[in-house]
Amino acid sequence: MRLTILPVLVFNGVMSFAVATPLQNTTLKHSWDNIPRGWSFEATPDPDHTFDLHIGLTQNRVQDLIHHLMEVSDPTHPRYGEHLSKDEAEALAEADPASLNHTTSWLESHGISASRITHRKSGGDWLTLRVSVSEAEQILNTQYSIYRRAASEERVLRSLSYSVPVSLEPHIDVITPTTYFSTLQSMRATSFLQPESDPAEDIDALVGPIFENVPIPMGCSTTITPACLRALYNTSSYVPVSMGQNQLGVAGYLEEYANRADLQTFLKKFRSDATNASFPTVTINGGQDDQTKPGIEANLDIQYTIGMSYPTPNIYYSTGGSPPFTQDSETPTNTNEPYLEWITGILSRDTIPQVITTSYGDDEQTVPVEYATRICNMFAQLGVRGITLFFSSGDSGVGGGDCRTNDGTDRILFQPAFPASCPYVTAVGGTTRINPEVGVSFSGGGFSRYFSQPTYQNTAVSGYLAHLGSQHSDFYNPTGRAYPDLSAQANRFQVVVGGRLVSVGGTSASSPTVAGIFSLLNDYRLAQSLPPLGFLNPLIYSLSNHTRTTSGNDTPSPGFNDIVSGSNPGCGTNGFAAVEGWDPVTGLGTPDFGKLQDLVS
* Residue 503 bridge partners (DSSP): 494
Residues 6+ apart with CB under 8 A from 381: 65, 89, 90, 92, 93, 123, 124, 347
Q: Which of these is catalytic: 301, 364, 395, 554?
A: 301
- Closest C-alpha to 297, from 275, 319, 277, 282: 319
Residue 224 is assigned to a ligand binding site: no
- Is there a catalytic annotation at residue 301? yes
- Closest C-alpha to 575, from 396, 417, 388: 396
**What is the spatial distance between Cα 149 and Cα 51, in angstroms, rounded to a whole number?**
20
Instruction: Find out whether 180 and 186 touch, Cβ atoms under 8 Å.
Output: no
Residue 583 is assigned to a ligand binding site: yes
Residue 581 is assigned to a ligand binding site: yes
Residue 563 is assigned to a ligand binding site: yes
**What is the spatial distance between Cα 353 and Cα 372, in angstroms, rounded to a whole number?**
23
* Residue 281 bridge partners (DSSP): 316
**What is the spatial distance between Cα 274 and Cα 267, in angstroms, rounded to a whole number?**
6
- Is there a catalytic annotation at residue 42? no
3-state secondary structure 235-281: CCCCCCCCCCCCCEEEEECCCCECCHHHHHHHHHHHCHHHCCCCCCE
Helix (H) / strand (E) element for 360: namely strand 360-363
Q: Rounded to a whole number, what is the distance in angstroms from the first to the last CA of the chain?
A: 63
Whether the bond between 423 and the residue before it is cis, its omega within 30 degrees of 0, is: no
Instruction: Find out whether 339 and 356 touch, Cβ atoms under 8 Å.
Output: no
Q: Which of these is catalytic: 508, 510, 519, 544?
A: 508
**What is the spatial distance between Cα 583 and Cα 588, in angstroms, rounded to a whole number?**
7
Residues 6+ apart with CB under 8 A from 594: 234
- Is there a catalytic annotation at residue 297? yes
**What is the spatial distance between Cα 300 and Cα 490, in angstroms, rounded to a whole number?**
11
Detail the residues annotated as belonging to a binding site.
Answer: 562-563, 581, 583
- As annotated, the active-site residues are 297, 301, 508
Detail the residues annotated as belonging to a binding site for Ca(2+).
Answer: 562-563, 581, 583
